[in-house]
Chains A and B, each alone.
Chain A
């Protein structure tokens, strides 16, 4: 998968969890919890969706790597390549 495809997939899972987020205006540097207002349950649902989509384990210790869209795309790209 290209980073663009990973980004599109990530955003799709993100707006499933938080339907009020507008993908058009979403800033890639926005912090999911501090800026976009995801709570711990939303975040866990997002991790679960990504886990299912990419069949990656995504341990809790890696959660900080998913703090923003930019970071998440980098993390997922690396994990899929590795």
Chain B
């Protein structure tokens, strides 16, 4: 018998709301089956099971908000099916009933709904630098905290006190998660998404010594190939330049193990598979970077199909937990209507982010003469604990080289 628990869907996740069970007792499960939907800050996530078996008992009920690690269901392993006949009453020691889980562990972060920040400079809340840093880390608006310092300035102690005993804020958070779940249609709370981004990005800038490289790439060959290919295809089979850019990045990564992997605890581990995160902008603000799993095995058409699928499911709030937790690198592409270049913040625990600006027609030297050609600026944000400029430069040069021969991608 094994326990299926509330999964952690990112370092910043403390708890989740079980929105829906997709299985019932007695159902047979194969590895990778989607068994439940959990509401998180990143919207509704479909939860897969990582071992085969049979659902013995559903412990948690839809609508319950539970901390990471709380038991959701008991799973009977395939070889246990018969041994279980006399249904042993004392279930394994680890099994805890939901009621035993109250009181829940106090979450470290209890963000309150953020009021619109005061736009007038100088009229914002007075606060010590330490208090500001702590509040930013926790995603708190200083204006909501009562200061005890000179001129009612907010001190670090005030922030800590607020974080420690702000049950109302916690309830509000829980309530708002519950509300989205209750609507039946998994929705996305923009304020919560913002807080998830704030937590991940603050951690990245605090812990990761970023370095940046930028390289202009002649995209005319790729553009011509794309136009020729798409001219013969109906719209549902057409490719976007983004698929070529991701394909070239993935191919170049096979020679750059120090850019593809995860830096967890003290160790960096290069990853054999390339789970390529793709920054997807949400209409209405914010972004989510789900991963195209095993992108190293996909050609351009497969990558395009995966992009269509993932963008649609990201916006509909139907991502799977593996997609939001297993990424080994992220690609962020501004598309046609953007600026020249983007210098990204690495998504921890990843160690690199590749950015592509908007492709534009520019005057560049080609075959010894100035010509107007489509170009794109590729950038790399990389973790200096793991890689150096030389490796990064070779990587961007390799992407450029690959894009000159689009038919081979």
A and B physically associate: yes
Enumerate chain A interface residues (CB-CB to B < 8 A): 18-20, 33-34, 37, 39-41, 44-45, 47-48, 51-52, 57-61
Asked if B231 and A51 make an inter-chain contact with CB atoms under 8 angstroms apart, the answer reads no
Which residues from A are CB-within-8-Å of B283?
18-20, 37
Asked if B240 and A59 make an inter-chain contact with CB atoms under 8 angstroms apart, the answer reads no
* 12 pairs, CB–CB < 8 Å, chain A vs chain B: A33-B336, A33-B337, A39-B335, A39-B336, A40-B335, A40-B336, A41-B307, A52-B236, A57-B234, A58-B235, A59-B231, A60-B238
Asked if B235 and A48 make an inter-chain contact with CB atoms under 8 angstroms apart, the answer reads yes
**Docked complex Cα distance between A81 and B230 (Å):** 25
Q: Between A and B, how many residue pairs show CB distances below 8 Å?
A: 43
Determine whether B153 belongs to the interface, using a CB cutoff of 8 Å to chain A.
no
Interface centre among A33, A57, A59, A61 (most CB of B within 10 A): A59
Asked if A44 and B238 make an inter-chain contact with CB atoms under 8 angstroms apart, the answer reads yes
Which residues from B are CB-within-8-Å of A44?
235, 238, 240
Which residues from B are CB-within-8-Å of A58?
235
Interface size of B in residues (CB-CB distance below 8 Å): 19
The 3 closest A-B pairs by CB, nearest first: A48-B235, A51-B235, A47-B235
| CB closest chain-B residue, reference A31 | B337
Interface string of B224-264 (1 = CB under 8 A from A): 00010011001110101110000000000000000000000
Asked if B227 and A51 make an inter-chain contact with CB atoms under 8 angstroms apart, the answer reads no
**Docked complex Cα distance between A45 and B309 (Å):** 11
Asked if B235 and A40 make an inter-chain contact with CB atoms under 8 angstroms apart, the answer reads no
Distance between A57 CB and nearest chain B CB, rounded to angstroms: 7
**Docked complex Cα distance between A45 and B230 (Å):** 14
Chain B positions 270-301 with a Cβ under 8 Å from a chain A Cβ: 281, 283-284
Given A33-B336, A41-B308, A60-B230, check contact A48 B242 (CB 8 Å): no
Distance between A17 CB and nearest chain B CB, rounded to angstroms: 10
**Docked complex Cα distance between A65 and B308 (Å):** 23
Given A33-B336, A33-B337, A48-B236, check contact A40 B231 (CB 8 Å): no
**Docked complex Cα distance between A61 and B223 (Å):** 13
Which residues from A are CB-within-8-Å of B336?
33, 39-40
Which residues from A are CB-within-8-Å of B303?
none
**Docked complex Cα distance between A45 and B283 (Å):** 15
Determine whether B352 belongs to the interface, using a CB cutoff of 8 Å to chain A.
no
Distance between A46 CB and nearest chain B CB, rounded to angstroms: 9
Interface centre among B230, B238, B283, B336 (most CB of A within 10 A): B283
Interface centre among B227, B238, B281, B311 (most CB of A within 10 A): B238
Asked if A34 and B337 make an inter-chain contact with CB atoms under 8 angstroms apart, the answer reads yes
| CB closest chain-B residue, reference A49 | B235
Which residues from A are CB-within-8-Å of B281?
39
From A37, A40, A57, contact of B242 by CB (8 A): A40
Which residues from A are CB-within-8-Å of B242?
40-41
**Docked complex Cα distance between A41 and B238 (Å):** 11
**Docked complex Cα distance between A61 and B232 (Å):** 12
Distance between A61 CB and nearest chain B CB, rounded to angstroms: 8
**Docked complex Cα distance between A47 and B234 (Å):** 10
Chain B positions 334-382 with a Cβ under 8 Å from a chain A Cβ: 335-337
Asked if B234 and A51 make an inter-chain contact with CB atoms under 8 angstroms apart, the answer reads yes
| CB closest chain-A residue, reference B229 | A60
**Docked complex Cα distance between A59 and B236 (Å):** 12
**Docked complex Cα distance between A61 and B230 (Å):** 10
